[in-house]
Amino acid sequence: MDAIVAYYQNWGIGKDGTQPIVIPEDRKRFQEMTEGATVIVGRRTLEDFPDGKPLKNRKNIVMTRQDIEIEGATVAHSVQEVLEMVKDQPRVYVIGGESVYEALVPYCEKIYITKIYAKPECDAFFQNLDEQFAWSFESESEIMTSSTGHRYQYYVYEKYYITDNIKKL
Ligand SMILES: NC(=O)c1ccc[n+]([C@@H]2O[C@H](COP(=O)([O-])OP(=O)(O)OC[C@H]3O[C@@H](n4cnc5c(N)ncnc54)[C@H](OP(=O)(O)O)[C@@H]3O)[C@@H](O)[C@H]2O)c1
């Protein structure tokens, strides 16, 4: 299971239930990466999708503590329930928002990041990976400029397994 997130320079990811700056090139990449895969999304982020509906051509799992049904999606009420649902799925992406990242990133192997060089006001944030021993920086793209004029860059972080690194010593 991997996570995909777009964050700004202040680790912000959202404001008032939506993303304050969206880069079309990043949206396209997100669609291509997640096409045909299972995506795990929080109930609040689902509300921000077009018409508040699950994403097409993907298996959507929506996290909520409420006893509700969501057309076109499977509902999961806890981390344990999600992990059970995805254990045999080949491609699974955690796609936010803040609370779902907090709950599930510890179970992810990789985090695919789009860093957008802007500092819009945010009320939802991603964890600062550089302060966490559990994650190591794996790769970065060059800095690009989007059609909207924003500079952005792709990063990959990988879970840090201390045993693998001891073997290398
Ligand atoms: N930049 C990005 O890449 C990106 C990606 C996605 C979202 N976002 C942003 O993130 C913000 C939303 O984040 P958020 O934290 O407010 O909302 P969220 O994580 O999308 O959804 C929160 C809801 O998910 C359910 N939930 C969360 N943890 C759960 C658990 N352990 N077990 C069961 N249900 C659980 C609860 O639903 P109930 O209330 O129904 O119980 C909770 O209210 C928005 O601003 C959005 O635009 C940014």
pLDDT score at 134: 87
3-state secondary structure of 114: strand
70-119 pLDDT, tens digit per residue, is 999 999 999 999 999 999 999 999 999 999 999 999 999 999 999 999 99
Give backbone dihedrals phi and psi of 131, rounded to 5 degrees, phi first. -95, 5
63 Cβ closer than 6 Å to some ligand 1 atom: yes
Which of 21, 100, 116, 125 to probe ligand 1 with, by most ligand atoms within 8 A of CB? 100
4-42 pLDDT, tens digit per residue, is 999 999 999 999 999 999 999 999 999 999 999 999 999
Q: Is the pLDDT score of 133 beyond 90? A: no
165 Cβ closer than 6 Å to some ligand 1 atom: no
**46-58 burial string, b = 16+ CB within 10 Å, else e?**
bebeeeeebbeeb
Distance 108 CA to ligand 1 centre (A): 17
**109-121 burial string, b = 16+ CB within 10 Å, else e?**
ebbbbbbbeeeee
Position with higher pLDDT, 137 vs 81: 81
CATH number at residue 46: 3.40.430.10
Average pLDDT of the segment spanning 125-137: 88
Beta strands 59-63 and 38-42, pairing class: parallel
What is the number of structural domains in the chain?
Answer: 1
Residue 91 domain boundaries: 2-168
Average pLDDT, the chain: 94
Position with higher pLDDT, 166 vs 107: 107
Distance 41 CA to ligand 1 centre (A): 7
pLDDT score at 65: 98
